[in-house]
Homo-oligomer: A and B are copies of this chain.
């Protein structure tokens, strides 16, 4: 059965223009055909098509199912975007597959936006990638994706109840992430840009309660480090 994404399906009983086109024009679904819809908020709906309008396809909901396993932990990845924006898009896709609750793109002192050639973090595009990964991996909860957030603003506005972790590369005794993080927590993990956080940024994060961690012996690219951090926290809670 085909899967669609509609964040507002409980309020309005039709598909967005894009999903309507996909259902009616591409998949050629028609009146009475059954489809599944996720709202990205933990619910899955089984629905049937009432009016196969290719711009505004109406549906009737037959049944609702709530995500069975609410996770006992949450993962918030805060990462400086890479010079090559494709790498960030790739990483987001993979993080959604593995399972992530929030991804914040942070502007650090060494975030080098000149390489983007006038492009930037496009939240619309990132959301599409996340939706596609959400459907593909049959997850029901859409992560929050935000950015670019200035470094100072990010540090100021963090919820207090999170386990705060920063994976920097400076010489310092850092415990492995898998030992430092406690199972069952709400984590926020900071991953630096190519060239790492500055010494001052690391000090500022520590002042805010961040603990320095290591992802292991390997020197990883920024986007690899982001995914590996998310997977380490997920694995710790398996």
Residue on B with the closest CB to A217?
B69
A220 near B90 with CB under 8 A, answer no
User: CB-CB < 8 A to A69: which residues of B?
Assistant: 217
A99 near B218 with CB under 8 A, answer yes
Taking the closest CB of chain B, its distance from the CB of A233, in whole angstroms, is 11
**In the bound complex, what is the Cα–Cα distance between A97 and B232 (angstroms)?**
15
B235 near A178 with CB under 8 A, answer yes
User: CB-CB < 8 A to A90: which residues of B?
Assistant: 90
C-beta contact mask, A135-147 vs B, less than 8 Å → 1, else 0?
A: 0111100000000
Taking the closest CB of chain B, its distance from the CB of A238, in whole angstroms, is 5
**In the bound complex, what is the Cα–Cα distance between A139 and B224 (angstroms)?**
15
A residues at B contact (CB < 8 Å): 69, 90, 94, 97-99, 136-139, 176, 178, 216-221, 224, 227-228, 231-232, 234-235, 238
